[in-house]
Structures are given as structure tokens and as C-alpha cells.
Homo-oligomer: A and B are copies of this chain.
């Protein structure tokens, strides 16, 4: 990728209406562009990072048996009326619109209802269970106030996995597997250490649901964590009974701010019964299918990483989700010899299948290029300049010291 041709210019100043760190940095660095409050375009660099997060999630969800499909944004009211979630008084974040014949339809805020309806045509016997469909799909939520950049938006990608099981024991086993898969996802994305399995209210159907909360000063939520036991508790369930349940002492708890990066629910028969999702068990009895739902918002995860690791110079990406592995800065490119060396380095890295962002601008100063590299936040910065000759100066985004390497040494170092 040549920076001179990339869509997404860096900005000195963040737009005034962006107050969150993630929106400020991602906008300034050219990853996103605001279409309206809570609605963001992903520019090429932003889409690369988003897709890497999506790919990590997809791999781990497929590994626990997920089957990918794609539901629709436009929603037929029928299934939502059956579950009682069509009314704006019940679900206050619907976007609704109309067909030409004046039929009111909705934009999917989530997909339990249409999926349960769909699965009722797929599942008949216990032999059709278990089943674990998931999708990476756009949700629409009419938030009164969209805020905090990519943390709370009106249109966003979501990985939503649903489980369909024959009984609660089988659900519990799968729920445990997804919990592990989620920790793998958050670890691979670089926020495993800061992320706590957090006990939240389970609503009418379960004692608990679980949130994955990433401890971060700018988080919207307040939770209580036991750092040693790596357990988090939501305020709403912070009772003596719950502490006893979890074997946690109140004095070990610390109040922290956190961002919810994932959640998992046991929905049991909440949607299967009203949507007519039943199966015949081994004894010939008709029973409702037991459901669970498991969500992660890839863009929210992206924003969390920016909030957590971004410093006063800009973004700091973990290697796994950086838009590129290396930021190649070409200096003194007006100098033919130096330009040639820079081109050779760029092409060699590309031939070695390394993802490189090459700052090939002729009209930017060294200072601008360095501060842009810090802002963009790619893990390694390699500088080709007149001074360095055929050597390349390699520096990590998070370190001050650099080293002069030959092209061969560079390749070895970062491959």
C-alpha cells in the first residue's frame, strides 16, 4: 500500500464534535470518516483492521462448531410480534420503514426472532440438534444519543452466534466452550489481559448472563473486579448471595470503569416457544429448543484497543489487528538513489508477502512522516533515508531505540 495513493489522509486536529479518544485518533489517522452521528465509513486502513478482527472471531467461532450464514437487515414484523418485541414501547431502538404498499418493516437490531423462525423450518427431531449458526452482519439501533465514537453507534457490524440445544446441560457445555473461545478472541486481539468475565443479571430465564468487560478508564460501565481471581461483577448483581456463589470476598473487589466487548446469554425457551421452535426427542415428545446468544461487535473491539493502548502520539495496534505489519518511511525521496533503495525495500517486502504501508510522499517532511507513523500506529517503523544508505532503521512503535539493519536482516527480524 502506497500512502500517497491511500484514501484516508491524516488530520492535525480531530473534528470538534468527536470527544472520544477512539473517534479522535481513528479519524485523525484516516481509519474512519463520519457519515452522521453514530454512523461511520471505514476507510481502507480501517477496513483492514476491522477485517482482521472479524477473521479472528470467525476462526474461533468456526472452531467451536459455528456455521456461518447471513440474515437480513430488513425485518418482517411477524416473528417480532410473536415474541412481543415489535412495539417501540418494548424495544425503543427500532428503525422502522415502509414498503411501497405501506407495510411497516424494521431494521434488524438483533436476530433471535427471524432466526428462531427460520430454524423452526430446519429443526424437527433431536437428530437436527445441536446447531450453532452465526453471522457477521450489520445491526441497526436507533440510539437516542450515539456517542463515544465506535463504542456506541447506530449502524455496526456484529458477530452474533446462536445456540440451539436439546437441553440445558448441552447448552451449559456449549456456553462454556464459547466463553473459552471469547477469551481466545480477546487474547488474539491483544486485550485478553484486561478483559474480565463479568457476572450480570440473567433476566427472567437464567441466574446470570455474562459480559466480557475490558478494564479501561474511558469505559461506559462500572464493574467490580477481583484481579486475582479474574472475575468481574456488575453492580446490579453485587449481592452477598452472588459473592458467595462466586467465592469472592467483598474486600478483594475493586471498582473500575470498563467497556463491554462481548456478551453471552442463556435465552432458553424465551424465543423458541413463541416462535414455534420445537423438536421431537428420542422418546417422541415435543419440546422447545433451548437457545443461547453470543455477541461481539468487531468495531467496538477495535475502538477498545484504541482507547486502551493509544498514547499521546496516536494509536498503538497489537500486531494481530494492525492494518499492516510495517510502516516503511521513505525520506529524501527527491534523491534518486535513496528513492531507488526505498522502492527496492518496498518491493522485496511485498514479494515476501509482508503487509507494508509505504510512505512514499515526496512533499511531506520527515517530521510529518514520523508523526503520521506514530498516529497510524503500525507496530514496526522502518526508515530508508540518504543518511542510512542501503541500511534500514527499524523501530517499534512502543520503543524509543532503533537499529540499523540490512534488508536481509530486516526480513529475518519481522517475518
Bound Cα distance from A131 to B7, whole angstroms: 8
Instruction: Please tell me if the beta carbons of A43 and B71 are within 8 angstroms of each other in the complex.
Output: no
A33 within 8 A of B: yes
A49 vs chain B, min Cβ distance (A): 12
Instruction: Report whether A7 and B72 are in contact in the complex, using a CB–CB cutoff of 8 Å.
Output: no
Contact of A69 among B43, B99, B133, B363 (CB under 8 A): B43
- Given A35-B114, A95-B97, A127 contacting B363 (CB threshold 8 A): yes
> Is residue A250 within 8 Å, beta carbon to beta carbon, of the partner chain?
no
B95 A67 Cβ-Cβ under 8 A: no
A72 to B5, CA, bound (A): 22
Cβ-based interface call for A152 (8 A): no
Bound together, the chains give a CA A119 to CA B363 distance in angstroms of: 20
A50 to B36 alpha-carbon distance, docked (Å): 30
Alpha-carbon distance between A47 and B137 when the two chains are bound, in angstroms: 12
Q: Using an 8 Å CB-CB cutoff, how does the interface string of A85-111 with B read, 1 for contact, 0 for none?
A: 000000000011111100001010000
Complex contact A68–B44 (CB within 8 A):
yes
Measured CA separation A46–B133 after assembly (Å): 14
A122 touching B39, Cβ below 8 Å: no
Within 8 Å by CB of A36, from B8, B76, B96, B131, lies B76
Q: Could you tell me if A70 and B47 are in contact, using CB atoms closer than 8 angstroms?
A: yes
Alpha-carbon distance between A363 and B124 when the two chains are bound, in angstroms: 14
A74 at the interface (CB under 8 A from B): yes
Partner of A71, one of B41, B71, B73, B142: B41
Q: Which of B41, B70, B74, B99 contacts A42 (CB 8 A)?
A: B70
A133-B72 in contact (CB<8A) = no
A187 sits at the interface (CB 8 A): no
Q: Are A72 and B142 in contact (CB under 8 A)?
A: no
* Chain B nearest Cβ from A16, distance in angstroms: 15
**A140 proximal to B (CB < 8 A):** yes
Q: Which of B35, B70, B138 contacts A75 (CB 8 A)?
A: B35
Tell me, in angstroms, the Cα distance from A400 to B319 when the chains sit together. 52
Q: How large is the interface on A (under 10, 10 to 19, 20 to 34, 35 or more residues)?
A: 35 or more
With a cutoff of 8 Å between Cβ atoms, the chain B residues found around residue A173 in the complex are none
**Is A401 interfacial (CB-CB < 8 Å)?**
no
Stoichiometry, as copies per complex, reads 2
Minimum Cβ distance to chain B for residue A346 (Å): 17
Chain B residues within an 8 Å CB radius of A97: 95-97, 107, 142
For A74, A100, A154, the residue with the greatest tally of chain B CB atoms inside 10 Å of its CB is A74
* A168 at interface by CB-CB < 8 Å: no
- Cβ contact within 8 Å between A140 and B73: yes
Write the chain B residue with the least CB distance to A75. B35
Q: How far in angstroms is the closest Cβ of chain B from A32?
A: 10
Q: How far is the CB of A165 from chain B (nearest CB, A)?
A: 13
Within 8 A of B (CB), among A17-58: 33, 35-36, 39-44, 46-47, 50
Are A100 and B35 in contact, with the CB atoms below 8 A? no
- A155 within 8 Å of B (CB atoms): yes
Give every chain B residue within 8 A of A33 (Cβ-Cβ).
118, 121
Q: Does A184 contact B (CB under 8 A)?
A: no
Interfacial residues of chain A within 114-168, with CB under 8 A of chain B in the complex: 114, 118-119, 121-122, 127, 131, 133, 138, 140, 142-144, 154-155
Does A369 count as interface, using CB distance less than 8 angstroms? no
Measured CA separation A70–B71 after assembly (Å): 19
B35 and A74 contact, CB distance less than 8 A: yes
| Chain B: minimal CB distance from A93 (Å) | 9
Q: What 4 A-B pairs come out closest when comparing CB atoms? A: A42-B70, A36-B76, A97-B97, A95-B97
Given A36-B76, A39-B74, A41-B114, 10 extra CB contacts under 8 A: A5-B131, A7-B69, A33-B121, A35-B76, A36-B105, A42-B69, A44-B68, A47-B70, A50-B70, A99-B142
A-B contact pairs, 6 of them (CB 8 A): A7-B67, A40-B72, A46-B69, A72-B155, A74-B155, A97-B107
